[in-house]
Structure 1
């Protein structure tokens, strides 16, 4: 796979598994992450990978990520918007301004900014793929709190808008919607008791928790030529949770 790829949030979890999967197929990968140590460790473990560290919700950082990939690799073929944070499961009436702003900024504004920065380079190639990591919470209202749910529904909408807007210029945009995945996204969170009491019963049908590599495999497929006629799709990778 001789392609140039950006993976955001690639220092751990789904992002790290995705960057590794692309690299194993011969892709050159830019590792974008807020955690400098994690980003460097992943980049050092992959042949030809480079790391860019910073807050992706900062337009200057988003521009630097896209520009670095184009300069280091000679162009850009694939963007994977994976970086994200979980909320505390707080309901709309209980969400603080700080939590709402943080979750929307990281989960929705950052993917928009990175996409906007990357589009000129993707369009220059005349062919490319964007894959967004949404969530089961982007398909239903019972998988997370108000902030996370709104952010992932927003990312689904952005995915579909991009798919329609750029399909005639060679850019496909799809998203995966994972269910439960064994990552560290919930590490250190203190969950809202009222939110857990209301939403907890809906989680009984979550099913098996997936490995990050299972989500990565779906992302690599959507970015590949094997999915050349797949555009605007929100693909559940949730063990059947969305079918219930």
Structure 2
């Protein structure tokens, strides 16, 4: 899909990958980009910064991307200001290093934000896109959704769910004009990752170290460049870190060997 002249919504857009995606969309000629995030203060600052270069083509609405009521309000605001939504970037996410000790609340939060937020957005937008014959759903998952995240069951399971839902969307609606992509990066210099290195929880620190030690640490704008290329190509799997594909192939070719290797790596980063 060509970005020029299109209308987009980006969640989790107050900083990190979301803000970078919004910037690149505007630079590629999007007609309008609505940013949304729970953090109203950071969101306002980011919108103001982008508006300095892109004027009225950028807007912001604070809200919870996992809330159906908030999503309805966000989509309505985008359409009133810019027109029908063409692209939706489900980028908001939560991390954490919880394992078997994770509470019910931690499990619910991870699944709600990392998976159900995508489901609820798709329920709103996909029927409209099928009727129009075109639309784009872009899911931010993680390399943890293809491999696994050492230390964090909640993150690994929820990101696997995000990948699976994106696959299902593509299979089910790909012939109806709905394009789907799924972003699965490793280390990106975001607060979500870097906060893990400062955590008092040894499991969270090990999870962050496992990511940082496994490959290059990319900047959010570098990742956003990969996102723009993927949208232009209408390519499903977006891997800013090419080694993730190698790891994924090794996993599929010999699962037991891969599991043994992951256990050794886990011991090394503890």
TM-score when normalising by structure 2: 0.80
- In the alignment, what sits opposite 2:129? 122
Structure 1 residue 63: Cα displacement: 1.2
Structure 1 residue 222: Cα displacement: 2.4
**Does 2:33 match 1:29?**
yes
Runs of 4+ in 1 over 6 A off after TM superposition: none
Residue by residue over 1:77-135, the C-alpha shift from the partner in whole angstroms, topping out at 9 and shown as x without a partner, is 11111001111x232x2212221111111111112112222224433432121111110
Quote the RMSD (CA, aligned, Å): 2.2
Structure 1 residues 150 and 2: CA distance shift in structure 2, 3 A: same
Measure, in 1, the Cα distance between the counterparts of 2:160 and 2:148: 9
Residue by residue over 1:200-244, the C-alpha shift from the partner in whole angstroms, topping out at 9 and shown as x without a partner, is 8855751110110121112222222xx14x3xx332222524424
Structure 1 residues 72 and 97: CA distance shift in structure 2, 3 A: same
Q: Secondary structure at the match of 2:60?
A: strand
**Does 2:152 match 1:165?**
no
Alignment of 1:18-167 (within 5 A): 18-27=21-30, 28-44=32-48, 45-46=50-51, 47=54, 48-87=57-96, 89-91=97-99, 93-143=100-150, 145-167=152-174
- In the alignment, what sits opposite 1:193? 202
- In the alignment, what sits opposite 2:243? 240
Find the partner of 1:222 among 230, 235, 250: 230
Structure 1 residues 98 and 186: CA distance shift in structure 2, 3 A: farther
- In the alignment, what sits opposite 2:12? 9
Measure, in 2, the Cα distance between the counterparts of 1:144 and 1:71: 44
* Stretches of structure 2 lacking an aligned partner (at least 5 in a row): 248-270
* Stretches of structure 1 lacking an aligned partner (at least 5 in a row): none
Larger Rg: 2
CA contact (8 A) 2:149 2:155 kept: no
Structure 1 residue 12: Cα displacement: 0.4
Residue correspondences, number: 236
Q: Secondary structure at the match of 1:178?
A: coil
Measure, in 1, the Cα distance between the counterparts of 2:123 and 2:116: 11
Higher fraction of helix: 2
CA contact (8 A) 2:194 2:208 kept: no
Farther-moved stretch of structure 1 (1-10 vs 113-122): 113-122
Residue by residue over 1:65-85, the C-alpha shift from the partner in whole angstroms, topping out at 9 and shown as x without a partner, is 222222221211111110011
Q: Which has the higher contact order (CA 8 A, sep 6+)?
A: 1
- In the alignment, what sits opposite 1:209? 217
